Structure 1
């Protein structure tokens, strides 16, 4: 009866005891033994996060395909009732247990670099979902599906989730952001885009003991309290002493054309000797790793699909299951790349890890750990065997890659990926301090 309750090799990261404990604390455990025990339902939900293109009955078929005695196939109505019985709380508790940076995560000059940003997830267009979440409005009449707004903090490098909050689309990112600051600690550096350069948010981040590196508008007035030798200067924002870095970044494409842009960064790392301005400008590029995380969730895992549930409770349950499965996969990848002689975390392919994890579920393999602990496992070995090449400095034009219409749009667009050389100039009044980026 409990045999279908597994997640393949990832069950070692989400063991039976952990699932049973969150069910007991959240009150989701069954009062009598059922054909669909709550533990099995939790693993079904987690597996569904890795098989986003399938319905729950098809996910069930994959959970039992590697078992010698698969047992009866539950009906769709039985699966619906079982998911309702389990509820949201156990999945939320399970995600919160797994959330956090992996052991031995890489640091930058002693700091764990994280990124903060938001995204949206499309949900079925039911009356209940539309009433709860709402959709994007505009001159086009609104989006076709209700949208969930999600804000997360992600560890750069491993791209593990540290904290997540989500809810109605009409609530902005800056309103959700304070709810994820509980994961911040001293020894962490938070990267954010211009949307988060808000006085109250800067004050709240500084109060956690963490440092910040956030872009703000170039035109934003910042009083110059003291000038520093590297071209930056000290100022205040929200009662917090910050260092302001004005920089010009020039991208040379294929040795010919050039594009330049001005950037202003604010940071609480005021020691210009330990944290030179040019190094911080280069480091800020890693903020894009949270965009890659959302790509892995929304495109690689979900395949651009709308979530399944037609009720808000079902959506909350499904999102927590999706995030928990993603986090377990990321922790497995981090175990594989944590050895000093292993790959950089940036070279670990999420796509390979995802498909290997799916295979392990179908084969019902690696569910119970052997007497000899294997931290890398089958997923880790697959990632190490086929690493991504080191990322090259290339620039692609910001154009629509897949148009709404199948007919050719008017005009020509340059779709070439150009090799690029990047130069950073820290601006200090009339003087420029220039360095070639690595």
Structure 2
């Protein structure tokens, strides 16, 4: 494939900004803002992403690239559906790493298996870890970093707080936790590596040049999967050719950093040459002649990059990413007067983190595994009804209990229904399933129809059947349970004057006292 021929390193190691010590700095990242036409054939292959407003307008592709941070040239690239994550896509590009490279990556690539695969290629890495991770502290080094093991491999952890003091006096700080295979704190100080991690953002500038400068943010044109793939590969080839021409122009002036060359100037110069058909007559063109990329780019170098910061804004009104309301950064670009980097000792940064040796850590892991197995065995021996029926009223009632409230009560129980806690009475066992007395209201008061003579009633407080839940069943009235005979009905002053008395055998059973 033509892109494989054009891809690769563009500058020698002695070029400014290309290498850190003897390693060429490269970075992994993904871009999911490339849109494809909304056609059935493409939706079948790419699908459509969803956000809080529903389906997205166009199917999107995820482009994952391995980029050289010094020149922003592409070493390898792969693209496909957004359903495939960046980590899986980057794993397919690990074969392009070699022992002469230092990989920079963000928190999306901090999986232990991925870092182990990077180490297998012989390349070094400097990757930011998620703040929720707490690696084991084994040895604290002289610069505040500490050594640990990830997947059995030695790794150095750097915990730092970066504070930016803006021109208006405002201070903005953030914490970083970096993992690296550069274990020597003398040759690779922690403060130098924290500043080096900032070079990872060069891959974001490469995606911006490709998506917004070269493609101008437009939707791809091809409505066929094969044509869409060809269109995107052609865009990557054009991008790589422009970067190569820019790097050659920077090498013509020793000491020039290639990232100071303007991609927009190079693109416009290439368009002008194609429009005017320069060199079509077979005459050789001087690469540094006016109007060519080699002549226009060096004369229009960008000024030295200034240290600045601003908030990360959601530019699309229907974006699936919610804005951060608690971000204390300025809404507009603000110059940074001074940048302070504080390296924290591992014990100070995480005072609650235990300090175990590898042997002790293995013992703890085995102990946790045994406790888990014992808990599973215990849960398997407990009867299922006891696990499904919490008896404490402080716990929320499960939805299935709400559905079976009417069917869970036995005959001879009184349960509360309605908003006014009106009680419906059912005959006690041994009396027969006669209809309970109806409740009627007159002028805000409540009365009960007179039940049949000699009918006994038992009131049960609670919606569940004890026998249904696996609990011991209370004795029936024939076996000595005390019950009350209802006397003639009387009119109460209010709707809630009935009093419940605790039953002598169960706190969940109450007697109805109607006086």
Same fold (TM over 0.5): yes
Q: Match for residue 152 of structure 2?
A: 239
Q: Report the 3-state secondary structure (helix = DSSP H, G, I; strand = E; otherwise coil) of the residue aligned with 2:50.
A: coil
Pairwise CA distance, 1:419: 1.3
Provide the alpha-carbon RMSD of the alignment: 2.3
Indicate conservation of the 8 Å contact 1:133/1:146, yes or no: yes
Structure 2: distance between partners of 1:159 and 1:369: 32
Match of 1:423 among 335, 340, 351: 340
Pairwise CA distance, 1:244: 0.4
Q: Match for residue 23 of structure 2?
A: 111
Match of 2:70 among 150, 154, 157: 157
Pairwise CA distance, 1:223: 1.3
Count of residues paired in the alignment: 334
Match of 1:279 among 177, 183, 192: 192
* Residues 370 and 209 (structure 1), Cα distance of their counterparts in 2 relative to 1, 3 Å cut: farther
Structure 1: distance between partners of 2:194 and 2:45: 40
Pairwise CA distance, 1:376: 8.6
Indicate conservation of the 8 Å contact 1:203/1:239, yes or no: no
Is 1:99 aligned to residue 16 of structure 2? no
Q: Report the 3-state secondary structure (helix = DSSP H, G, I; strand = E; otherwise coil) of the residue aligned with 2:154.
A: strand
Pairwise CA distance, 1:218: 2.1
Pairwise CA distance, 1:397: 2.3
Matches within 5 A, 1:292-307: 292-307=205-220
* Residues 146 and 260 (structure 1), Cα distance of their counterparts in 2 relative to 1, 3 Å cut: same
Structure 2: distance between partners of 1:304 and 1:371: 35
Match of 1:144 among 46, 57, 70: 57
Q: Match for residue 390 of structure 1?
A: 304
* Residues 127 and 356 (structure 1), Cα distance of their counterparts in 2 relative to 1, 3 Å cut: same
Is 1:314 aligned to residue 233 of structure 2? no
Structure 2: distance between partners of 1:139 and 1:270: 45
Structure with more of its chain in helix, by fraction: 1
Match of 2:293 among 379, 388, 412: 379
Q: Match for residue 30 of structure 1?
A: none
Gaps of 5+ in 1: 1-92, 406-410, 433-438
Pairwise CA distance, 1:257: 1.4
Deviations 1:293-352 (A, max 9, x none): 111011111111111100110111001000011001101111111245253112100000
Q: Match for residue 225 of structure 1?
A: 138
Structure 1: distance between partners of 2:314 and 2:156: 37
* Residues 367 and 110 (structure 1), Cα distance of their counterparts in 2 relative to 1, 3 Å cut: farther
* Residues 277 and 375 (structure 1), Cα distance of their counterparts in 2 relative to 1, 3 Å cut: farther
Q: Report the 3-state secondary structure (helix = DSSP H, G, I; strand = E; otherwise coil) of the residue aligned with 2:77.
A: strand
Is 1:259 aligned to residue 172 of structure 2? yes
Instruction: Say which structure, 1 or 2, has more relative contact order (CA 8 Å, 6+ apart).
Output: 1
* Residues 404 and 137 (structure 1), Cα distance of their counterparts in 2 relative to 1, 3 Å cut: closer
Indicate conservation of the 8 Å contact 2:287/2:293, yes or no: no
Q: Report the 3-state secondary structure (helix = DSSP H, G, I; strand = E; otherwise coil) of the residue aligned with 1:389.
A: coil
Deviations 1:15-52 (A, max 9, x none): xxxxxxxxxxxxxxxxxxxxxxxxxxxxxxxxxxxxxx
* Residues 369 and 275 (structure 1), Cα distance of their counterparts in 2 relative to 1, 3 Å cut: farther
Pairwise CA distance, 1:268: 0.8
* Residues 389 and 199 (structure 1), Cα distance of their counterparts in 2 relative to 1, 3 Å cut: same
Structure 2: distance between partners of 1:424 and 1:332: 37
Q: Report the 3-state secondary structure (helix = DSSP H, G, I; strand = E; otherwise coil) of the residue aligned with 1:380.
A: helix
Deviations 1:379-433 (A, max 9, x none): 022110110000001112223456569xxxxx9x95332111211111114779x
Q: Report the 3-state secondary structure (helix = DSSP H, G, I; strand = E; otherwise coil) of the residue aligned with 1:249.
A: strand
* Residues 134 and 402 (structure 1), Cα distance of their counterparts in 2 relative to 1, 3 Å cut: closer
Pairwise CA distance, 1:374: 4.3
Structure 1: distance between partners of 2:289 and 2:246: 8
Structure 2: distance between partners of 1:395 and 1:316: 36
Q: Match for residue 188 of structure 1?
A: 101
Q: Report the 3-state secondary structure (helix = DSSP H, G, I; strand = E; otherwise coil) of the residue aligned with 2:65.
A: strand
Structure 2: distance between partners of 1:394 and 1:168: 35
Structure 1: distance between partners of 2:11 and 2:282: 19
* Structure with greater Cα Rg: 2
Match of 1:347 among 251, 256, 260: 260
Gaps of 5+ in 2: 320-324, 350-515
Q: Report the 3-state secondary structure (helix = DSSP H, G, I; strand = E; otherwise coil) of the residue aligned with 1:328.
A: helix
Structure 1: distance between partners of 2:144 and 2:132: 18
Match of 1:179 among 74, 79, 92: 92
Q: Match for residue 289 of structure 1?
A: 202
Pairwise CA distance, 1:137: 1.6
Q: Match for residue 130 of structure 1?
A: 43
Pairwise CA distance, 1:103: 3.7
Q: Match for residue 25 of structure 1?
A: none
Indicate conservation of the 8 Å contact 1:394/1:419, yes or no: yes
Pairwise CA distance, 1:373: 7.6
* Residues 276 and 342 (structure 1), Cα distance of their counterparts in 2 relative to 1, 3 Å cut: closer
Pairwise CA distance, 1:238: 2.4
